[in-house]
Amino acid sequence: MAEKFLEVKNLKKYFKTKRGWLHAVDDIDFVINKGETLGLVGESGCGKSTTGRVVLRLLEATAGEILFNGEDVLKFNKQKMREMRQNAQIVFQDPFASLNPRMSVSQIIAEPLVINKTVSSKHEIQKKVASLMETVGLASRLENVYPHELDGGRRQRIGIARALALNPSFIVLDEPVSALDVSIQAQILNLMDELQDELGLTYLFVSHDLSVIKHVSDNIAVMYLGKIVEMSDYASIFVDPLHPYTKALLSAIPIPDVDIKRERIILEGDVPSPIAPPPGCRFYGRCYARKDICKDNTPELLPVSEGRSVACHIVHEQRKG
């Protein structure tokens, strides 16, 4: 039986801007089971990265609950937060910006150990760094080089080694491969997969790339303008997408196969501004299936079948009638 590891309830994150409140994450719920991966997918500005950061309290949530093993992180004091941070790590998108250019590879990987004083002697730190470098496939001769001397793939491996240094059980992966070329991307995805199996890690994998998300996830949540519009196990969403946005998103991906002929749904316009969003379905303005009910009533994310839920009035009506 799957064990709930992380549960997020009614999570909201608003930012104050000159033009009003920006609803980056607006009332979302999800669960990640132990040892599994939740893929959070959506386009720029949908709130997926903000969600990843709020879950780790790198950004303070506006409202909601974030339960790690049943305990609400938002109620933690400083001391407890410190302990929690050892357990929950993050790998950032841009391996060029997330590493200190004035620290060598071994210093970067050792930093979390030094800060948290988990390992005392210098010798032990060295040993731990060496074993971490081996785990992520970095040659030991790279110990004393600086990030600028390395390519993107190796830099991302440093970021992963640093995230693993404190033996976390949970890692937020914020677009970890989107800055990499495909042949290198495949190496990193395989590495993340192996580490999950070996160390029993739980991942929140944030990406805009549906084919990457499909490859790594057990469950997938599709976000649009701060809301989760569809949740599903990794397979069914690709066979039978329910939400009109998910359908359009899937049809928009160019597939490297000349035999597949697809009906492409071209959405009109751009993603609207998340500042003071109108009531009703967030997708209303671009939806090709919209009805009057969608304009003023926000659809709820409701279960439609085993392991699947969707937030769309049209789908809900069809299921009912």
Residues that bind another protein (CB under 8 A): 43-44, 151, 153, 181-187, 189-190, 193, 208, 210-212, 214-215, 235, 238, 248-249, 251-258, 260, 264, 266-267, 270-271
Sequential DSSP letters for 92-122: -S-TTTSS-TTS-HHHHHHHHHHHHT-S-SH
Residue 61 or residue 237: which is nearer to another protein going by CB? Answer: 237
Least distance between another protein and beta carbon 166 (Å): 27
Least distance between another protein and beta carbon 124 (Å): 32
Least distance between another protein and beta carbon 79 (Å): 41
Find all residues with CB under 8 Å of 24, minimum gap 6, and list them. 13, 14, 15, 47, 50, 226, 274
Residue 264 or residue 319: which is nearer to another protein going by CB? Answer: 264
What is the β-pairing status of strands 227-233 and 63-68? unpaired
Residue 256 or residue 321: which is nearer to another protein going by CB? Answer: 256
Residue 68 or residue 283: which is nearer to another protein going by CB? Answer: 283
Residue 28 or residue 212: which is nearer to another protein going by CB? Answer: 212
Residue 191 or residue 294: which is nearer to another protein going by CB? Answer: 191
Least distance between another protein and beta carbon 151 (Å): 6
Burial of 309 (0-12, 13-18, 19+ CB in 10 A): buried
Cα–Cα distance measured from residue 164 to residue 9, given in angstroms and rounded to the nearest whole number: 27
Closest CA to 288 of 251, 261, 238: 251
Least distance between another protein and beta carbon 295 (Å): 21
For the chain, where are the E strands, in sequence order? 4-17, 20-33, 37-41, 63-68, 71-72, 88-91, 170-174, 202-207, 219-224, 227-233, 302-305, 308-310
Find all residues with CB under 8 Å of 69, minimum gap 6, and list them. 5
Least distance between another protein and beta carbon 212 (Å): 6
Long-range CB contacts (< 8 A, 24+ apart) of 156-159? 156/91, 156/95, 156/180, 156/188, 157/188, 157/191, 158/95, 158/99, 158/105, 158/108, 158/109, 159/91, 159/92, 159/95, 159/98, 159/99
Find all residues with CB under 8 Å of 284, minimum gap 6, and list them. 278, 290, 294, 295
Residue 112 or residue 153: which is nearer to another protein going by CB? Answer: 153
Residue 1 or residue 266: which is nearer to another protein going by CB? Answer: 266
Least distance between another protein and beta carbon 92 (Å): 19
Residue 44 or residue 77: which is nearer to another protein going by CB? Answer: 44
Q: Which two tokens stand for residue 90?
A: 């993050």
Least distance between another protein and beta carbon 210 (Å): 7
Least distance between another protein and beta carbon 173 (Å): 15
